[in-house]
Structure formats: C-alpha cells, structure tokens
Structure 1
Amino acid sequence: MSSYNQAWLQLIASHVDLSQPVNRLTSAQIKAVGKEPRLMTKFDSRSSRPTVLKDNGLFLLPETNGSYLLLREDGYCDLGSAASQDIEDYQAHFPIHFEALENSSSEMNNLDRLFLCGLIGEFVGTPALWATIRGRRFAPEFRYRVGELGEFCAKGIQYEVDQGYESADEIILFEAKGTTPSDFLIRQLFFPFKVFSQTCRKRIRSVFFNFDATHSVCSFFEYRFEDPRQYQSISRIAERHFRVRFPDPSLLTLDELFRQRRRESSQEAWEIPQADDFSKIMELPLKIAEGYDDSGLMATAFDFDARQSSYYRKACEQMGLVTSHLGRYILTEQGRDYIALPSEERTRFMMKMMLAQPIVEAAFDDALRHPNHLISLQNISARIEKESHLSGETVRRRAQSVRSWLRWLENALGELRLGGEVLKID
C-alpha cells in the first residue's frame, strides 16, 4: 500500500465518522500525518481518489482556505470520448512564428496555441475574444447545495481558471487537461461559474477541454448548470473534437533523430512497459520533481489509478530517467538533466530516447522491408514475442503501447519519413 493510501486510512480512522454523510477535515489534520494538503486533496477524477474514499463513496470539496468537506455523494461528471467518425481535421495556422510556445505540453500552452490559431473562437462561435482570466484566485463567499446533503457555504476558498475568454456579452471559462480522463470533478467548473455569476453581469459559459497528445485530438465539452444553486445540476449542451496539426519548424527529421538517438537506459533492452500515452511518460519526471513521488500521489497528478502509475514509472525507468526505492519514485542523474532542459529540448531528448529502444528500432526495420512500408501491430507483436519473456495477451497490450508511441511521434513530426520512405501505421 502506498504511503498516500496509508495516510488517508489514518485520517479517516482519527477524524471521520463514516456513519455520517458529511464530515470535515482541516489542513492541520492532514499535515499531522506527514503530508502536504495540496497533494493529499487533489482528486480530479473518481479513480484518483485514495482507496478508502472510493470504497466509501466519498469526495472532497474545500470549505474554507484551511478546511474541507468530505461528502458521501458523487461529485464527478462522466466525460466520454470521441468516436472516430466525429473527429474533425484541423490544420492550425499562426500569423507569426510563436517561439515561446514550441513543444510545451501544459494545459495552458495547449489553450494558448488553439486560441492563437482561431480554433477556440470557432468552437464557442465568437471569433472576437480576448483572454482576460487565468490562474488561482480567492473566491468571495457563496452558498450552494450538493444533492440532498443540504446547503454549504464556501468562505475564502481558492479556485482556479485555466483560461477565461471574454466577448462583448459573454465570459467563457475553461478547465483544461493534458490527459484524456473518463470523468472530472464538477467543482472545477462549478466553483468558477458560481464566482463569476455572482460578480459579473455577462453570460457565463463553462467548457471542459482535454488534449489527447497521442492522437493530437482536442476535445471541447460545454456544460450548463440547470440550477445555479445545485452542484450536481450539470448537463452537457455541446461537444466537438478536432485532430489538430501544428506547424513546428524546430523539430528534426526522423533521419536526423535516428542519427542522434540516445542509447542509455536502466533496464533490460526488451523490457516493454504498458504505457500508451507518451506525453505522460515525458511529464512524469516533472511531476516527481514537484513532489508526486509515489504511486498514489502520481495517480492524483494524472487522474488514473495507482497501477497505471507503476506502468508509467516503469516506462521512465526504461528511458533511464527514474528509479524507485521503498515505494518512492526518484529521479536519476539523467532524469535531473532532463527536467533542467528547456521544454523544446525535452521533446527532442525524449524522441531520441524512444528511438533507442530496440522494439522501436525493430518496428522501423520491419516497416522498411514491408512492401507497403507499414508499421503493423502484428509485426510489433511478433517481435516482442520473439525477443522478450512476454507471452499471451500481454504481448498484444505491450505492442499497442509501442504503436501509440509511434503515433505520437508521427503526430509530432507530421510524418514518419525514414531513408526516403514514408512509413504508415496500421
């Protein structure tokens, strides 16, 4: 069991009456079990909650700037994903070359690029937009209800808006994720909505945005609160999904990257992790540096469960960036060098690390010999089965991870052109 889950068990045992639907915790109580409240209270999805909260149907909301409500209710909203036929292709064009935005994958950076190329204006139906709101703020006092649990009062809490845009008659508030969650915490839209509805005369709109870096798909979901007093009155009123191509003149060609690939890694050559999203592999060392240094805490950072945390940690170990000791995730010397790089250099660094993995080299070799220059799941699986200790359905799952990495690379480079041939992924 992770130290994060152990700490929550201790908190529940000492301060919570599980027979009651409403309990309260303080920052001081959380600190007393040796944890930082900001890390212990970030549950942006159902699966990122500690086990004891999941088992008892509980979720957390801030009540003041130093206390929390622990409520037996469902505080999350299902998100869903785009069917392939619903994804629109979009070629981004910028009026100038924005060097400062190159190769960063943060939520705010994704929104900035989509705003500058006009896609956000297209989704909201208002091209005349101005970016006026961003970051953490303290909220004025407001009241609201959660299901049948009664009325609650938020006093001086902090809330965050990833980006807010303003037109002549509307304010559009965005919550953004660089992941593809299956659900999200309603508070992330509801609290900003309450604050701006209370303090502004313009119409308030709420949008949840996520970016699937593996497939370069941007998803926009607009929500409305049918009863502004009721936390759970959220309903979806619009959604659109775009596969976006961004121009990036700074990236090397695949041939150049192969010549410069890095061969350092810390595990056996044919150890192949089950980690589909390469952008999360890139981000995990940065999260460790921020203090998310075990499987439970990493799950809260990425909105997935502790098992997936271990998969992505193993992928970073394979890249030589991370090691673990007694359940703690630790940056290697190479990992510390990696996080110190500028963001654009980190992308090129990780491309070279990916290309040094034997399974990736083998996939390209097989594709160059294929009559249609195809990178196929079947051939990747055959290579893994031949060269590694893996067998059965595990082989296919790991092959799917490798294929996802190559799709990420294809999206980043525009195409996989190697030795004069354009390789395609099935």
Structure 2
Amino acid sequence: MGEKKTKNDKAWEELFQKYNILNEIEKNGFYEILADQIREYREPRLMCKFDHKNNLPDIFEKNNLNILPLSTKSYIIGDFKLFEDIKYDEKQKPQQMSIPAYIESVKPTDLYSEASALHCAYITGMIDDFINEESIFAVSGRMGSGDFHYNVLSSVGTSKQINVSGAQIEIDGGYESHSNFVLIEAKKQKVKNFNIRQLYYPYRVWKGRINKTIKPVFFTISNDVFYFFEFKFEDDNIFNSISLVKQKSYTVNYEKITQQDVDYVVNRATTFVSEPKVPFPQADDFTKVIDLLSYLYERDMTKDDIAEQLDFDKRQSDYYYNSCLYLGLANKYTNEEGTFATLNDKGREIVRLPFRQKRLALAELILQHEIFKEIYDKTVTEGEVSTDYIVSRMKHHKLYNINSESTFKRRASTIRGWVKWIMELPND
C-alpha cells in the first residue's frame, strides 16, 4: 500500500505539471521559480523548508531534485547535493555539566524548544567548553543574506553557480569570543542528515561581515544528551566542501538510574493493562518516542508535522505517533486541518518529570503490557531471545490487528528494542 501524500506532495506535483518543470530542468539543468508561483498552492515557507532528506516531496525525491533560495522572491530547483550525513559517536561518554546554583529560570526538565536547549547549553558552559574559549551570546533570529554567490555540486559531480541576493537566513544562536564567532543550527532530536544550507548561508553572510574565524556548529538534543558537531568549509565558494572538525556530547548533572531502580520497577509489574485497540508499536528506537513526547508537549502535531520535525519518513511518523497512543500518553482528534496527536494529562505529567523519574515512569508504562514484561524477564534470564519465540508469545496474547507473519516479525523488533532500552537505563 502506498503512503498517503502530504499537502506538500500534492502541491508540488500540481506546480510541476502546471509549469512543465521537469522538461525545463531537462533542457536547462535547472528551473527558477517565483515565490508567487509557489504561493498559488501553499505558502513558500511551508513548501520550501526541507531540513532533512526525508522532508523532500515525492516528486523531488523521485527525480533527484532539490531546491535553494535565491532571494525572498525566488528559488532554484535542480539536481543539487544539499544534505550532509550526521554520525553520532555513541562510544563517546557525555561530559557532565552543571547549572550555576544562582540560576532559577532554566531547568533541564523544561527544554521544549531549540532556544531553551541552547540557553541551557550556554549557561552550563557547554558552548565555551566545546570551543575552548569564553563566549558571549550575541546573535539570533532572522536576517537578510545580502549578496553572494557560490558553486553547488550535482549528484553526478557537475557544478552550478548560484547567485543569492537578499534571501532570508535564520540563526538559532551566535556566540562571539575573542577570536571566534560560533553559528549554531539547533534541532530538538537526533537526525540522520541536515541541509547544508542551514550552516552555509549564515556562514557566508557573517564571513563577509566580521574578521573573526567563523565556526559553523550543528547541535541536537535527544534523550537529555546535548550533541555538538563543528564543521568547516574547505572552500568558501563551494557549498559541498563541508567537513566535520569534531564532535562532543554533554549532559546536565542528574541523578543516575541504578539497577536497583530498574529492578524495583520490574518487580512492581504484576498486573497488566488490556491491550489497547490501537496499532501495536513499530518504533524500534525508544529514544525517538521520548523526543516526540517533548515535541507534543509544546504543540499538537499531525503526522506530516511529525515527519517534518523529527527527520522521519511519512510511514515512520505514523509508527511513532501510534506508540504514544499505545502507551496511553496521547490522544488524537480530527478537525478541518487534519488529524492531530495531543498529549493527555498523563503524558504531560511524565514529560515534566526529571531525567531519572521520567525514564523509570516510561519503563513502568511499557512493562504494564504483559508481552513486554514476559520478553524482558526471559531476556534477563536467558540472554538474547529469538524472534520466533517473541512472535509465538505475541500470538498467544492476541495483539490488536496484527495479521501477517511479516508484520509479527517487524513488531517483534520493537519489543526487543524497547526491552533493550529498559535494560540499558543503568548505563545512561
């Protein structure tokens, strides 16, 4: 069954058809499109913001196309290599930092936006530690790009010159020290890749304005871990000349989870909830469920919103959305704008908890489902549990609306992933 098309998918397909865009690109190698043309279908700010590969509309993905802003009034579409992969060094142990004792306005349990996460990173000294120099928070927000040009590579290695004049850029945080100016692009979750434009355009703008070394930094926060990636551009005039300089991760001091804590939660799981009549989870990475809960704390979201914000494809957004419903932390409602997920009172209460209590509360919710408790116990006593065994127990419990053998096996992977997450809590 094909994935349901998003509003962006439909609007871009109509634009491509109306203006014969694929033929124009075949003839000229690119197509310049006006913001007013895009606005015939949807606002350009909604139609042209592709921060991750998964955000690309179907027609772009199928034809190996991307889009770049030229100004506030025009864009260029072509075969451009715009995304850089992010690789997290999971072997790197996060460095613990502390919020100064006199600070009461910033709490690590209240970091529900990129801005609040960056403020926390700044006052705890993470940013200064990362750049090895004291800095001052100097810049944030939207601004004009001025004029500059650069070359961008295609998927086959050809180059196209792009001329920018008065495009809009946005900086999540700019931090100035005696010798450096650090430009940070922030995301509230782990990502697989990012659009280089988010670092390159601010880099070029500020490279032309000040004499200090410009350090482009990509920042993510996930599962209460702060990740920093410093990049550099080997050639200022080549968009794709980006390379990683270093990465480092941090946490704010918190009470550690012990094995005794986990055992206490496990031993309390003696009565179980009835399996809810919602799709059984297919969301192997439980930390992404936690990330989604943080987003939902800030606002209600459609599946399209979730895909856009959390670097999911459309199918994944459905799976993680259903995981929140399955655990009883969210509800859904439909209005003229679509179907939304919204945190319920229990979800809001859990998201507000400190690090240790939040994770133990989530582990308790998982283990209230008998299939998860069974597989947890068997994994503890016997080690790795076979997929066939997990599937046999799933069938025994008559889980909601799982009908095919292949679906059973995919859902078994989620059970294994969530059990592993609980078992590794004392190592966080």
Residues of 1 paired with 2:290 and 2:350: CA distance? 16
Q: Is the alpha carbon distance of 1:149 and 1:313 closer, same or farther for their aligned partners in structure 2, counting shifts above 3 Å?
A: same
Partner of 2:30: 22
Cα distance in structure 1, aligned partners of 2:246 and 2:359: 36
> Which of residues 1, 9, 12 is equivalent to 1:8?
12
Report the counterpart of residue 115 of structure 1 in structure 2: 122
Q: Which amino acid aligns with 1:394?
A: R
Q: Which residue of 1 aligns with 2:410?
A: 394
Instruction: Report sequence identity in percent.
Output: 22
Per-residue CA deviation, residues 18-50 of structure 1 (Å, 9 max, x unaligned), is 3132212233222322x2322221211122211
Query: Are 1:208 and 1:221, in contact at CA under 8 Å, matched by a contact in 2?
Result: yes
In structure 1, C-alpha distance between the alignment counterparts of 2:411 and 2:283, rounded to whole Å = 10
Distance 2:189 2:422 in 1: 18
Counterpart Cα distance in 2 of 1:163 and 1:132: 8
Identify the match of residue 207 of structure 1 among 203, 214, 217: 217
1:146 aligns with 2:146: no
Q: Secondary structure of the residue that 2:320 maps to in structure 1? A: helix
Residue of structure 1 equivalent to 2:280? 271
Q: CA deviation at 1:195?
A: 0.7
Three-state SS of the structure 1 residue aligned to 2:281 is coil
1:124, distance to aligned residue in structure 2 (A): 1.4
**C-alpha contact (below 8 Å) 1:49/1:300 kept by paired residues:** no
SS in 2 for 1:308: helix
TM-score where L is the length of structure 2: 0.76
Indicate which of 214, 229, 232 corresponds to 1:221: 229
Preserved contact between residue 42 and residue 300 of structure 1 (Cα < 8 Å):
no
Q: Deviations over 1:357-407 (max 9, x none)?
A: 56557756886x789799987799476454243565324321144237647
Report how far residue 275 of structure 1 moved.
5.5
1:133 to 130, 139, 149: 139
**Whole-Å Cα distance in 2 between the matches of residues 345 and 217 of structure 1?**
16
Which residue number in structure 2 is paired with residue 420 of structure 1?
A: none
Mean Cα deviation higher: 89-98 or 7-16: 89-98
Provide the C-alpha distance between the structure 2 equivalents of 1:45 and 1:170, rounded to a whole number of angstroms. Answer: 28
Q: From 188, 192, 195, give the equivalent of 2:202.
A: 192
SS at match of 2:142: strand
User: Which 5+ residue runs of structure 2 have no aligned equivalent?
Assistant: none
Deviations 1:277-320 (A, max 9, x none): 1233314536864xx6343x532222221111111221233336
**TM superposition shift of 1:67:** 2.0
Deviates more, 1:99-108 or 1:375-384: 375-384
Q: Indicate whether 1:344 and 2:352 are aligned.
A: yes
Give TM-score, length-normalised by structure 1.
0.76
SS state of the match for residue 25, structure 2? coil
Q: 1:232 aligns with which of 217, 221, 240?
A: 240
Residues 146/371 of structure 1: CA separation in 2 closer, same or farther (3 Å cut): closer
Q: Report the CA distance shift for 1:100/1:338 in structure 2 as closer, same or farther (over 3 A).
A: farther
Shift of residue 205, structure 1, vs aligned partner: 1.0
